[in-house]
Amino acid sequence: MRMAYVNGEFVPLAEARVSVLDRGFLFADGVYEVVPVLEGRLVDSGAHLARLARSLGEIGLECPVPLAELPALLAELVRRDGVAEGLVYLQVTRGPAEREFGFPADAQPSLVMFTQARSVLANPKARTGVDVITIPDIRWARRDIKSVGLLAQVLAKQAAADAGAGDAWMVEDGLITEGSSSNAFIVTVDGTVVTRRADRTILSGVTRKAVLALAAEHGLSVEERGFSVEEAKGAAEAFLTSATAFVLPVVSIDGSKISQGVPGPLTRRLRDLYIEFVRAEM
């Protein structure tokens, strides 16, 4: 029986409840994190919780549980659900209050967590790669905050599904920002790993940060800059990173093959290096 953590209690997932007046439900007034699970253990939880703390600070919200206690709660939920591989989702909202736009004076923040089992290491897309489409980036200007307001990303995911693609890369002012739930990378013909600089226009991915560090550590050239759709189509390789996909090859963009249309050697190497890294950190 799957469990959830809701405001201090572990309860069966089917019985988990929050108020209809919760500001996360009414206003998307909250933030979230996704922590991967591998071999029954949390992956890079310190980096994920540091990003959670930043997101909370950016919207003036306090976690109802001290952040130092979250790893034990996450691990306990993983243990109770028996998740060997997958993720833990946690969400903090400003809590229930009468529906008014301004911050309520008396609302108590809400913390909800649940797990999802899924294949991470044996993901078949790591062998075949994924196709992506490009769409206009219609999101708000503070993409650095991991907000629960994800309607634009939902529409992007559905557009990709409707097109038979694995993901959508979003475009603003002629440059790719990021994927619907991932960071976008290319590898130039001279072997340079390129991804957009982490500012307010994208979410600074935890996996993104680790992959960049691993690339530099192993002598690869790295650039943090914008790149156009046309540059991406003409790249030697392309890939995406996320907490639960790790590193996935991108083999076509808008129907145009990337190089030979198969996962490239540098992408495969970076995926292997990242898996070695997370296993060493567990």
Concatenated DSSP letters of 66-134: -GGGHHHHHHHHHHHHT-SEEEEEEEEE--B--S-SSPPSSPPPEEEEEEEE--STT-THHHH-EEEEE
Answer for the pair 89, 116: CB distance below 8 angstroms, yes or no: yes
Residues 6+ apart with CB under 8 A from 191: 220, 221, 236, 266
Q: Within 10 Å of residue 197's Cβ, how many Cβ atoms?
A: 11
CA torsion, ordered 72, 78, 80, 85, to nearest 10 deg: -160
d(CA 272, CA 147): 30
Pairing of strands 246-253, 110-117: unpaired
Task: Provide the annotated active-site residues.
Answer: 146
What token pair was written down for 87?
Answer: 């993720």
Instruction: Name the one residue in this structure whose structure tokens are 């190497």.
Output: 269
Q: Within 10 Å of residue 124's Cβ, how many Cβ atoms?
A: 7
Residues 6+ apart with CB under 8 A from 81: 2, 3, 115, 117
Extract long-range pairs of 15-19: CB within 8 Å, 24+ residues apart: 16/112, 16/114, 18/96, 18/110, 18/112, 19/96
3-state DSSP call for residue 272? Answer: helix
